[in-house]
């Protein structure tokens, strides 16, 4: 029985390099070494909580060090036992997810198989991706159309974007009209491209309904997090008043918490994040529950390449995968170079290498050269969850 012997945590980043995604200007990479020397990698998200997640990773490590690396479910329950707030603490679920992912990486290498084989094997050899992070500094419809042309040249057949400027909680007539102009301009110029509308969970129900009515005539593939995530009754009212396809889930932290959304027909597309929902086993369980309700999956994937590799290893095994989020084409150079091999993104599709574990090879020089400390930068005028340069009044152009 191989045990978790060494635990190393790397906070990585480069000041000013993340031009589109302030929330992932830092990433947390976990390296576990088993007692036989096998190494596995995991990743935890950092959205304005880098240091709290880092400390939570140390605490999870204190619980799991010396335990069998193969007893992944047992280890999950051990953390569940000791962490009183686990199901609703994104810091702890993120930390635990990193350990779960790294453990699967080790187990796959120990048995000489890619992780996806442990989850039933692939049902597809390639996964369709959509672009996110492509629309930094976009304010006007012309801005969005110009940047979308570049995304299309990269091979993407779908793009996700937030057209609501600096609106928060409420959406007035001017903002709704401007969002309509942006979305309809993209539809006019890119008739064959899927458009996904990102709301970032920013609206009350009345304003979310107004937002849906502003964009629904452009036939979006889905509308993501239309209502504040803590207003479930508002989400049900939104569902009753609109016809748009609803996607959500990056802030839902395990399979049990998704049950309420499915049984109340509150969602069409589930978007759990493998780096905060508990890891690959939870992601697979969520996917199976969604399949039972005829819902589809579109995993949230906004941070780094270890996350992408883990997400693809699960996504390739589920029949109800709709599409996969991708920031890869818009990452800073250091993040692109962190994983030297393991998966590819070509012509708008992801493909896995098929190598054991997650299938990835880490560039150790990046781990050494790009270590930083502290929190992400803070901008009082622009929330960290927005794409850079978009949370502005329209008069700024």
The burial class, CB within 10 Å (0-12 / 13-18 / 19+), for 189 is middle
Active site residue 300: yes
> What residues does 196 pair with on adjacent strands?
160, 222
Active site residue 228: no
Ranges of H-type helices in 23-71: 50-64
In the set 175, 178, 180, 300, the catalytic residue is 300
E strand map for 80-201: 127-131, 158-161, 194-198
Beta strands 4-13 and 26-34 are: antiparallel
DSSP string of 321-384, one letter each residue = B--EEE-GGGS-HHHHHHEEESEEEETTEEEE---SBT--EE-HHHHHHTB--SPPP--TTS-T
Measured CA distances, 92 to 60, 80, 193, 286, 372 (Å): 8, 9, 38, 19, 21
Q: What is the dihedral of CA 250, 253, 259, 261, to 10 degrees?
A: -30
Token code pair at residue 1: 């029985």
In the set 82, 200, 228, 365, the catalytic residue is 200
Q: How far apart are CA 261 and CA 356, in angstroms?
A: 35
Q: Tokens 């993040």 belong to which residue?
A: 335
Strands in 4-13's sheet, in edge-to-edge order, are: 4-13, 26-34, 39-44
What counts of helices (H) and strands (E) characterise the chain? 13, 15
Token code pair at residue 3: 């045990």
Token code pair at residue 271: 């978007």
Main-chain phi, psi angles of 266, to 5 degrees: -95, -5
Q: How far apart are CA 34 and CA 32, in angstroms?
A: 6
Q: How far apart are CA 178 and CA 239, in angstroms?
A: 23
Catalytic center residues: 200, 300
């Amino acid at each position: 029985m191989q045990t978790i012997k060494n635990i190393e945590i790397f906070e990585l980043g480069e000041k000013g390099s993340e031009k589109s995604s302030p929330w992932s200007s830092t990433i947390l990479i976990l390296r576990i070494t088993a007692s036989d020397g096998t190494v596995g990698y995991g990743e935890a998200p950092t959205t304005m909580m880098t240091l709290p997640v880092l400390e939570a990773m140390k605490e999870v490590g204190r619980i799991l060090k010396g335990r069998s690396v193969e007893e992944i479910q047992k280890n999950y329950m051990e953390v569940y036992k000791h962490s009183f707030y686990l199901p609703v603490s994104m810091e702890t679920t993120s930390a635990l997810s990193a350990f779960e992912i790294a453990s699967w990486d080790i187990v796959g290498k120990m048995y000489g198989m890619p992780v996806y084989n442990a989850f039933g094997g692939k049902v597809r050899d390639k996964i369709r991706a959509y672009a996110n992070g492509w629309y930094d500094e976009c304010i006007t419809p012309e801005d969005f159309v110009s940047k979308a042309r570049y995304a299309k040249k990269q091979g993407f057949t779908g793009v996700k974007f937030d057209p609501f400027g600096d609106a928060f909680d409420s959406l007035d007539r001017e903002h709704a009209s401007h969002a309509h102009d942006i979305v309809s301009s993209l539809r006019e110029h890119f008739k064959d491209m899927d458009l996904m509308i990102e709301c970032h969970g920013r609206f009350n129900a009345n304003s979310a309904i107004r937002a849906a009515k502003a964009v629904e005539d452009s036939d979006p593939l889905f509308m993501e997090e239309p209502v504040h995530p803590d207003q479930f009754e508002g989400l049900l009212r939104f569902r009753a008043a609109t016809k748009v396809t609803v996607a959500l889930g990056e802030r839902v932290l395990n399979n049990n918490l998704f049950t309420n959304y499915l049984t109340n027909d509150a969602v069409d597309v589930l978007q759990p994040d493998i780096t905060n929902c508990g890891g690959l086993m939870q992601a697979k369980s969520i996917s199976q529950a969604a399949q039972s309700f005829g819902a589809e999956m579109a995993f949230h994937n906004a941070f780094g390449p270890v996350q992408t590799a883990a997400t693809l290893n699960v996504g390739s095994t589920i029949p109800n995968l709709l599409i996969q989020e991708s920031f890869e084409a818009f990452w800073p150079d250091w993040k692109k170079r962190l994983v030297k091999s393991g998966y590819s993104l070509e012509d708008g599709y992801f493909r896995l290498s098929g190598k054991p574990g997650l299938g990835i090879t880490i560039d150790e020089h990046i781990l050494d050269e790009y270590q930083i400390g502290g929190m992400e930068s803070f901008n009082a005028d622009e929330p960290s969850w927005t794409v850079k340069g978009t949370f502005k009044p329209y008069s700024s152009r």
